[in-house]
A and B are shown apart, each in its own frame.
Chain A
Amino acid sequence: MKSFLAVFTTATKYCWRDLTSVAVLIAFPIMLILVLGNALAGFISPTYDFEPLPVSASVEAGGNLETFLQSGESSQFMEINFTTRENAEELVQSGEVYVAIIEEDGEVTVIRARNSGMNAMIPISIIDSYKQIGAAMTIAMTSGGDFTELAGLIGAELSVTAAPLGNRVQSAIDYYAVTMLVMILLFTGLNGLELFKKSMFSETGARVLTSPVSKPVLVGGLLAAATVTSYVQGLITFFFTMFVYGVYWGENIPLVLLTLFAVTLFSQAFAIVVLLLCKSPNAAMGVMQALIWVMTFVAGGYVKIDFGAAQEIFRYSPNSLAHTIIFGSAFGGNETRMMNDLALLFIYVAVLFVIAFILGKRRLTK
């Protein structure tokens, strides 16, 4: 027990004093969650505080487009300067407005200012939605259909809301906090890998391995240190997002914490298996990084992947399982599915540890 504690405490100190990885695992996700969560919050969060964007417009007086642009939801997003065409173009060229909306002979053109970046996307999207309504009307008219309902949409309130889940509406920052934290926890396996490399597969490791500490005690101490360090780092991010950013993690916090713990354990077990399968620790680092990115993207967290049957398989990536449990817990998901997914995560962990045990026995007793 004394040897286990010696390995555990020393390895934990070693991990925490590596300020670069501590910064990467705590400060980096906290910053990214803030940036991503707020940059995109305006699109899907009804609570986002938004400053209307300056836009110039030269449109037909009293026409449908003018009515549409003057409607409440349009003006909520855009502060429109109705002016002549020349003046509208001049304003966009000088960069005083992000976008100029020009209507001439029934054609609507949008000119975006240079370096307007993401800001131009909002007015462009609004005008695009106006055009779509117009197109739908044209189709209805040429097919002899009744377009009175469609006509009523012109100038209607622009509705921008996210689909409600349970009793809450999920905001961008809620989404990014969950996906980012799950991804970062998977990356903590790299820290565990670094610790194992140092303590077992280096010159320092040679000295440790020649000591009278048995390998199960050594591996157990290192694994405990890597897991506790990673989990605590994850908890710091978790509580920071909850209390500082106001991220909604649902009411069942113990379930969320248990899920995050399962992800942390998975990451450490996965790292050990990769390390034991690769010839060198550096190769293991590369393989591990590549696999985490793959797992992150097949989970569909950031890029939607739709390959039919493959999508079903991707659902069983550890990220995807964790997302299902946490989002389900916070926004009213299917409880049976959540419990099954959590059980599956722990099964993954158990299988990985069995593989690690078999590989370790073969490799470390050579």
Chain B
Amino acid sequence: MILSMTDVIKRYRALTALDHLTLNLQKGEALGLLGPNGAGKTTAIRVLTGLTGADTGEIKLFGKEFSGKNNSDSMAIRKRIGLVPQDLALYETLSARENLEYFGKLYGVHGAELKKRVDAALEVLGLTDVAKKSPKKFSGGMKRRLNIGCAVIHKPELLILDEPTVGIDPQSRNHILDFVSEINKQGTTVLYTSHYMEEVERVCSRVCIMDAGRVIADGSVEEIAKSAIFEESITLEVKDPAPSLPESIKKIQGVVRCEVKNRAVTITSTAGSGNLPRIIEVASPFVILGVSAKRATLEDAFLALTGKSLRDGGEAS
């Protein structure tokens, strides 16, 4: 086990940011941590990296208890972690190369090895041509790439990324996602928080959904999508639907709404795809021209589980 948080509580005065949080991460895994604003994702990362202490609970990294204090055990653990903070964490008056060199040195990489790693990182991140330039002159995507480069220059065993693609263009986002997937394939364990479902689905093999400081769902993307109770939309195309049809469909358990517009009969159900045979059976006296159902996504699951939309943290309508 690379990471294990058990019953961790962290309070900021009246606010309980982490409420008995329990989270595990196996070696080589890529775990996506999802949650609306204020769910406790960033606090969990701060506690994991020793930036803030937990009030109670146990935190183990690489099998050893991690207190975040200035002792040799904590320092040895820190050396094996790379952090990509939510905002850019660079020195703007230093060049891209100098930024990479500095963070490499802080993690004990020096001399020829450092130069080799910096050159390689610049190459992989597509920043070789601008290595001597200040990040002030970079585009948002370039800055984000350098931000990640500074976290991996010491080849960490655990890479923690806190929303690393905020505010960048699709091309740079793809570059970053490919890069994270690649280093995960090479054996680096990844903890990835994001507001973008598609990113988590693309990079992570497992997802934890957090809300109010706790994990409320944990599993693969498919498992979470299936386990969640959410509203599914099924549309039947029916030739000459009679007014009695929607009334009959509404009697099926789990159907919330049924609306008819021309040939389209749109059914909203909370019972999952298992309702489809029953709906077709009820509609069978009519000529059914087509059937379509919207597949459950992680985003649907998230909305169903937390009652909140992911990106703005507001209540789902």
For residue A207, give the distance in angstroms from its CB to the closest CB of chain B.
4
A206/B83 in contact, CB under 8 A: yes
B105/A212 in contact, CB under 8 A: no
> A17-B93, A204-B90, A210-B78 in contact; A6/B102 too (CB < 8 A)?
yes
A198/B106 in contact, CB under 8 A: no
Inter-chain CB contacts under 8 Å: number: 78
B51/A14 in contact, CB under 8 A: no
Interface 0/1 of B71-96, CB less than 8 Å to A: 00001101101010111111101100
Count, chain A residues at interface, CB 8 A: 27
B75/A207 in contact, CB under 8 A: no
A204/B93 in contact, CB under 8 A: no
B106/A213 in contact, CB under 8 A: yes
Is A94 close to B, CB under 8 A? no
B91/A204 in contact, CB under 8 A: yes
Is A215 close to B, CB under 8 A? yes
> A17-B94, A198-B91, A204-B91 in contact; A212/B76 too (CB < 8 A)?
yes
Is A10 close to B, CB under 8 A? yes
- Give the complex CA separation of A202 and B92 in angstroms: 13
Is B107 close to A, CB under 8 A? yes
B91/A209 in contact, CB under 8 A: no
B150/A207 in contact, CB under 8 A: yes
Is A214 close to B, CB under 8 A? yes
B78/A212 in contact, CB under 8 A: yes
> A10-B91, A13-B98, A207-B151 in contact; A212/B69 too (CB < 8 A)?
no
A365/B69 in contact, CB under 8 A: yes
Is A104 close to B, CB under 8 A? no
A207/B102 in contact, CB under 8 A: no
Count, chain B residues at interface, CB 8 A: 33
Secondary structure call for the B interface: loop
B85/A366 in contact, CB under 8 A: no
B53/A3 in contact, CB under 8 A: no
Which interface residue of B69, B85, B87 has the most chain A CB atoms within 10 A? B85
**B83 contacts which of A3, A14, A210, A215 (Cβ < 8 Å)?**
A210
B85/A206 in contact, CB under 8 A: yes
B107: chain A residues within 8 A (beta carbon): 211-212
A202: chain B residues within 8 A (beta carbon): 89
A210: chain B residues within 8 A (beta carbon): 49-51, 78, 81, 83
- Give the complex CA separation of A86 and B34 in angstroms: 90
B76/A18 in contact, CB under 8 A: no
Is B179 close to A, CB under 8 A? no
- Give the complex CA separation of A7 and B107 in angstroms: 12
Interface 0/1 of A1-25, CB less than 8 Å to B: 0110011001001100110000000
Q: 27 A–B contact pairs at CB < 8 A? A: A2-B105, A3-B105, A6-B102, A6-B106, A10-B102, A13-B94, A13-B98, A14-B94, A17-B93, A18-B93, A198-B91, A202-B89, A203-B86, A203-B87, A203-B89, A204-B90, A206-B46, A206-B51, A206-B85, A209-B50, A211-B78, A211-B103, A211-B107, A212-B75, A212-B107, A365-B70, A366-B53
Which A residues contact B (CB, under 8 angstroms)?
Answer: 2-3, 6-7, 10, 13-14, 17-18, 198, 202-216, 365-366
